[in-house]
């Protein structure tokens, strides 16, 4: 079964910026976590949430790179280590947050990878892109659930793309190369050129 997303008539368009969306909204006293908050859409999201007054936490696999990038845009954003392909790292990040006793008002799942050169697996044997973009975020939301509930009206936003239209989802057995559908970067480049 497939259904197309229906417009919600928000008044925003593809040309709307994060600043347009947040205009007139105060997030003072709110806590937000933004995965991928040190590049691309995640960086702009983290910056905008911080400018609106939220305390923003950016979990990062590359902590030093994240800190350098965040330092360029100003305060209000904290970087903490976490690797979305490592369940232990996710659990540690979530446990530290839960132990702080804070509520989590906003969780933006923005980190992601795409079009890797060759089939790569995480330490658990899962394809790296699937592990990063889906499994890691699912585990993070599950582990942070108590803090999201504590906020009483929290929001979870998962950023995605139209990439799913280029291939169906193919599940595979860990360690089996036979049933794994993998599209290298060169195929993605060709698809975007058409």
Integer Cα distance of 90 and 139 in angstroms: 7
* pLDDT of the residue at 95: 99
**pTM strictly above 0.85:** no
- ∠ CA 59-162-61, rounded to 5°: 15
* pLDDT of the residue at 185: 47
Task: Write down the CATH number for the domain with range 24-160+170-193.
Answer: 3.40.50.720
* pLDDT of the residue at 191: 45
Domain positions in the chain: 24-160+170-193
* pLDDT of the residue at 177: 55
Residues of the chain with pLDDT under 70: 1-3, 5, 163-194
108, with CB counted inside 10 A (0-12, 13-18, 19+), is: buried
104, 64 in Cβ contact below 8 A? Answer: no
* pLDDT of the residue at 69: 94
End-to-end Cα, the chain, rounded Å: 27
* pLDDT of the residue at 3: 66
């Amino acid at each position: 079964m497939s259904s197309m997303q229906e417009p919600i008539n928000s008044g925003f368009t593809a040309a709307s910026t994060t600043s347009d969306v947040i205009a007139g909204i105060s997030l003072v006293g709110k806590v937000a976590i933004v995965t991928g908050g040190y590049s691309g859409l995640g960086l702009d999201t983290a910056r905008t949430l911080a400018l609106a007054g939220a305390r923003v936490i950016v979990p990062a696999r590359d902590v030093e790179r994240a800190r350098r990038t965040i330092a360029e845009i100003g305060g209000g954003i904290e970087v903490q280590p976490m690797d979305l392909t490592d369940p232990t790292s996710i659990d540690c990040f979530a446990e530290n947050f839960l132990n702080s006793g804070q509520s989590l008002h906003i969780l933006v799942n923005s980190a992601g990878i795409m079009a890797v050169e060759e089939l790569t697996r995480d330490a658990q044997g899962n394809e790296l892109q699937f592990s990063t973009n889906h499994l890691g975020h699912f585990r993070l939301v599950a582990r942070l659930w108590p803090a999201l509930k504590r906020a009483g009206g929290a929001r979870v936003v998962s950023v995605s793309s139209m990439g799913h239209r280029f291939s169906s989802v193919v599940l595979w057995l860990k360690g089996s190369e036979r049933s794994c559908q993998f599209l290298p970067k060169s195929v993605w480049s060709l698809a975007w050129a058409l």
